[in-house]
Amino acid sequence: MVLSNLGAHPDAVDMGTTRRRRIRSSARDTLIARSAHNTIDVDCTAGGTIVLTTTQQYANGTIRLTGTPGAGFTIELADGTLQLSFINTTGQTATIETATGATTPPTILAGATKTVFERTTDLEAIASIGSEVGAFLHDGSIPATGDQDWADNELKRVRFTDTAQTVQTPSSTAGVLVLDMELDNVCDVALDEDVTTLTLDNPPADGIMGVITLIATQDVTGTWDITWPAAIKWEQDSGLSPAQTTTGDAVDIYALITIDAGTTWYGFVMGLDFS
Residues of the chain with pLDDT under 70: 1-38, 60-61, 126-149, 151, 236-239
The whole-number pLDDT of residue 145 equals 56
**Per-residue model confidence (pLDDT) at position 191:** 97
What's the pLDDT at 9?
Answer: 47
Q: Supply the pLDDT for residue 124.
A: 87
pLDDT value at residue 98: 92
Confirm if 62 and 132 have CB atoms less than 8 A apart.
Answer: yes
Alpha-carbon separation of residue 85 from 76, 115, 127, 240 (angstroms) = 14, 4, 10, 52
Q: What is the pLDDT of residue 121?
A: 81
pLDDT at 119: 87
pLDDT score for 251? 97
Is residue 174 within 8 A of residue 153, CB to CB? The reply is no
How high is the pLDDT of residue 241? 81
Residues contacting 109, CB < 8 A, separation 6+: 88, 93, 147, 149
pLDDT of 158 reads 85
- Residue 157: predicted pLDDT: 86
- Structure confidence at residue 260 (pLDDT): 97
Residue 134 has a pLDDT of 46
